[in-house]
Amino acid sequence: MTALARTRTATTMAFRDQLRRPLMLILIVVIPAYVITQAIAQTLATPRRIGLPDGVFITTTMKDLHGAGMGGVVIAFVAALLGVFVMQSALDGDRRLVVAGFRPGETVMARLLVLLSGTALVVAVAALVTALNFSAANWPALIVSLMLLGLIYAAIGALAGALLDKLAATYVMLFLVMTDLGVVQTPMFHVTPGRLAVLLPGYGPSRVMYDGAFSGPFHASAELLLSLGWTAALAVAVAIVLRRAVGDWG
Amino acid sequence: MLSAALPTTGAFVREHLRAPLTLALLVAIPAFFVLIFASVLGDFAKALGGTLAAQSATAVSAGWAAAFLSGTLAFFQVSSSRGADRRLASAGLGAWRVAVARIAAALAIGISVSAVAFVTLWLRSGIGHPLHAAVAIFSFAVIYIGLGALIGAFVKGALEGSLMVLLLFSLDAFSSPEMTLSGAFAWTPTRSAAELLIAAGGGHGSPSADWLGMAAVAVGAVGVALAAFWVAARTRS
């Protein structure tokens, strides 16, 4: 069997494994749809002044802030849990594939494609539900930021899944997302994020997200670069950790 | 039954706490949750059109911390220990003793998490009615132990189960009393506990209807959890 054929087989099996679990697909659709719709519907249109990247200040409403930001929070939650449990599945099953003759890189590629597809699905649902409830000034920027948030948190979840047991990984991811995106980065509680907010992974993509939501001209080039840097570094880390985890066995 | 179940309860507690990081998280997360979210939940409630005062918002954050940690733990207890529990039951302990030991372990960890949340709340902002608040926070934990165990009895996948706990938590976050103008989801399980906790945080007593409501839901949750643990120990996959 060639490397390409093995990679295709591993990928097909990994996707089939996910498709055997219809509840997961239902929840990936229902959770973003419910949370985003409820958050926007229940929030009052109280005026709120916020700071965007590049020193731009605008006045919007709390309702629109939920419209702009809730998609990112939900995507990060779901993608992080996807990362944790896709990694745990890989640790459980892929070592046997390697013993059976697959190369570690082939099984790693299959799992990363599953993670990427799951994240893309959550982002698509969240973007669609957001579009039904909120009108962004710059949709391409908003959608790119949502995808970056998803990828960053999926990768952090995967690393947590490799290093911690599933209970600890779940606690860490949910607490990190809540703190980073739900409190530190959101303009609902601060006009601009605090001085140390830049250290957290959600800083770059959430700044791009709020810029895309409220400003036609793009002001967040530096934040976009920072987000791409986080994504690339985390993707490399996940590939290395996963490859070692499935390849060093036996 | 108790003499056999008690040592097993200790073993189940140790099973969850043998990873030092899990133990650290069970202490750190409720404390951080109360400290971090207490300062913003009042603003969040106002954004949703609610009337939650800052001190009451702090109190609710303690209940949510205890609920979320206990619910997730109960889910993983049921979903990941099915095989071991069935073997224990078949080896002579019996499904009921296994279920009693499991629920006792879940409640012991729930009490610890609730105690951390309660102490953090007390130290941060003081509590008008400490006893009321302590009972309400523990009730949040007990109710979510029931919900987490129920999800674990029906959902085998760790991802699906943790997403279900997250969905329930979201329902609660958007329907907590005085967090919202909306009357939707007034039947959510933690509603009476939240009413009681909010009142205690603000230094007020609560009507007996709230106490009865909370007690009924908490007792029901223990029953549901017991049944879920029993089914998990008894059935074959």
For residue B52, name the pLDDT band (cuts at 50, 70, 90).
Answer: low
Shortest CB distance from A88 goes to which of B19, B48, B158? B158
Give the pLDDT confidence score for residue B221 in this predicted structure.
93
Mention every residue, 6+ apart, whose C-beta is less than 8 A from residue B18: none
Q: Note whether A44 contacts B47, CB cutoff 8 Å.
A: yes
Per-residue model confidence (pLDDT) at position A87: 85
At A173 the pLDDT is: 93
pLDDT exceeds cutoff 80 at B202: no
**CB pairs < 8 Å spanning A and B:** 106
> Would you state the structure tokens that stand for residue A83, as one six-digit string?
């990362």
| Under 8 Å between Cβ of A143 and A124 | no
Nearest to B62 by CA among B40, B31, B39: B31
pLDDT tens string for chain A (250 positions)? 677 888 888 788 878 877 777 888 888 899 999 999 988 888 888 888 999 998 899 999 988 998 899 999 999 999 999 999 888 877 777 778 788 878 887 888 888 888 999 999 999 999 999 999 999 999 999 999 999 999 999 999 999 998 888 888 999 998 899 999 988 999 988 899 988 999 999 999 999 999 999 999 999 999 999 999 999 999 999 988 888 877 754 4
Check whether B50 has a pLDDT greater than 70.
no
Asked if the model's pLDDT at residue B45 lies above 70, the reply is no
ipTM of the complex: 0.83
Whether A175 sits inside 8 A of B33 (CB atoms) is yes
For residue A66, list chain B residues with Cβ-Cβ distance below 8 A. 47
pLDDT of residue A249: 47
SS3 B124: helix
Which of helix, strand or coil describes residue B188? coil
Asked if A66 and B47 come within 8 Å (Cβ–Cβ), the reply is yes
Closest residue of chain B to A176, computed from CA coordinates = B29
Q: Which residues of A fall within a CB distance of 8 Å from B73?
A: 167
B15 pLDDT more than 60: yes
Mean pLDDT of chain B: 83
Ranking A215-219, B2-6, B18-22 by mean pLDDT, the lowest is B2-6
**CA–centroid distance for A7 within its chain:** 25
Does A128 contact B at CB distance below 8 Å?
no
User: Distance (Å, rounded) from C-alpha A116 to C-alpha A232?
Assistant: 13
Q: Which among A18, A26, A37, A38 is the top mutation candidate for probing chain B, defined by the most B β-carbons within 10 Å of its own β-carbon?
A: A38
How many Cα atoms occupy the beta-carbon half-sphere of B76 within 13 Å?
20
Q: Measure the CA angle with vertex A62, ends A58 and A66; round to 5°.
A: 105
Helix, strand, or coil (residue B75): helix
CB contact under 8 A, B69 and A42: no
Which of A50 and B41 is assigned the larger pLDDT?
A: A50
Q: What is the mean pLDDT of residues B135-158?
A: 92
State the pLDDT at residue A2: 79
**pLDDT class of B42 with cuts at 50, 70, 90:** low
Which of B102, B130, B129, B103 is CA-nearest to residue B115?
B130
The pLDDT value recorded for residue A250 is 42
Asked whether the beta carbons of A102 and A96 are under 8 A apart, the reply is no
The gap between the terminal CA atoms of chain B, to the nearest Å, is: 26
**pLDDT at residue B85, as a whole number:** 81
The Cα–Cα gap between B180 and B76 comes to 31
Mean pLDDT of B199-211: 84
Q: What is the pLDDT of residue A57?
A: 93
Q: How far is A195 from chain B (nearest CA, A)?
A: 16
Amino acid at B25: L
| Closest by Cβ to A165, choosing from B22, B32, B160 | B22
Cα B132 from Cα A234, distance rounded (Å): 46
Rounded-to-10 torsion of CA A80, A29, A119, B154: 50
Return the pLDDT at B178: 56
Compute the average pLDDT of residues B62-87.
87
Q: Which residue of A has its CA nearest to B158?
A: A85
Q: What distance in Å separates the CA atoms of residue B16 and residue B73, rounded to the nearest whole number?
A: 9
Would the CB atoms of A81 and B166 count as touching at under 8 Å? yes
